[in-house]
Amino acid sequence: MSSTYDHNDPEVVEAMKYLVLPPEEKIKLQAQPFDGKKACWVPDPKESYVAGEIVSTKGEEVTVKSAKGEVSIQSTSFINNLYLFLSRLLQLKRMLSNK
């Protein structure tokens, strides 16, 4: 299967620095425990979104603890829509890094 971009192109090489994790970091992340029912993304003013964990759910409100330790309350629809968007973004990243 042919690529749609040139792996030797300086712009592609520069962009891939942000799209592909170094092998050491990838191994470290794969070794961490993961619970797909509790994992989510939380809005962050500095980093756009950070990883979070759902602590509790009450009706349409979800209490989330971010990787930074901050606790916030989000709506279930926000968490679900964000999850779908970021999972599609991750799929695109994987497609690009496999070429």
Q: Where are the domains of the chain?
A: 35-97
Residues 6+ apart with CB under 8 A from 62: 40, 54, 56, 73, 74, 75, 76, 79
Give the orientation angle of helix 76-97 with respect to helix 10-19, to 10 degrees. Answer: 140
CA distance 91 to 71: 28
> Given this model, what pLDDT does residue 56 score?
92
Question: 35-97 sits in which CATH class?
Answer: mainly beta
Q: Could you report the per-residue pLDDT of 33-75, keeping only the tens digit for each?
A: 878 788 888 888 888 888 888 899 898 888 999 888 889 888 8
Q: Taking 70 as the threshold, does the pLDDT of residue 30 lie above it?
A: yes
Residue 1: its pLDDT value, please? Answer: 41
21-28 mean pLDDT:
88
**Average pLDDT for 15-41:** 85
